[in-house]
Amino acid sequence: MNNPEKGELAFLPSDITLLKFKSDNSSPVDRWVKTDKPCHVLVVDRHDDNTYTKVLYDGECWMARKQDLYPARS
């Protein structure tokens, strides 16, 4: 699968869990949200050596698993 690059739109299906990790490493996950419907998100940051991609969803940055993101088609 072709993963979306930083600055591109990506398609995110419904029922996907997005995560926020604590910056102080006191707990692996600080907050989470589950998408209730399919939507498009902006890819904010992406690292090839990481399982997660940072996306902009509902006005906040969240971490989405790369396998849950699909390139947006025009």
Q: In the predicted model, is pLDDT for residue 50 greater than 90? A: no
**C-alpha atoms less than 13 angstroms from C-alpha of 36 in its C-beta half-sphere:** 1
For residue 40, the domain's CATH number is 2.30.30
The residue behind tokens 């989405």 is 64
Confidence (pTM): 0.86
Cβ proximity of 43 and 4 under 8 Å? yes
Q: Kindly state the average pLDDT of the residues 4-18.
A: 95
How long, in residues, is the chain? 74
- Work out the pLDDT band at 48, boundaries 50, 70, 90: confident
Structural domain span for residue 25? 9-71
Domain count, the chain: 1
| pLDDT reported for residue 11 | 96
Of residues 54, 59, 58, 34, the one with CA closest to residue 44 = 54
Please give the mean pLDDT across all residues of the chain: 89
Rounded Cα gap, residues 12 and 38, in angstroms? 6
The residue among 2 and 15 whose pLDDT is bigger is 15
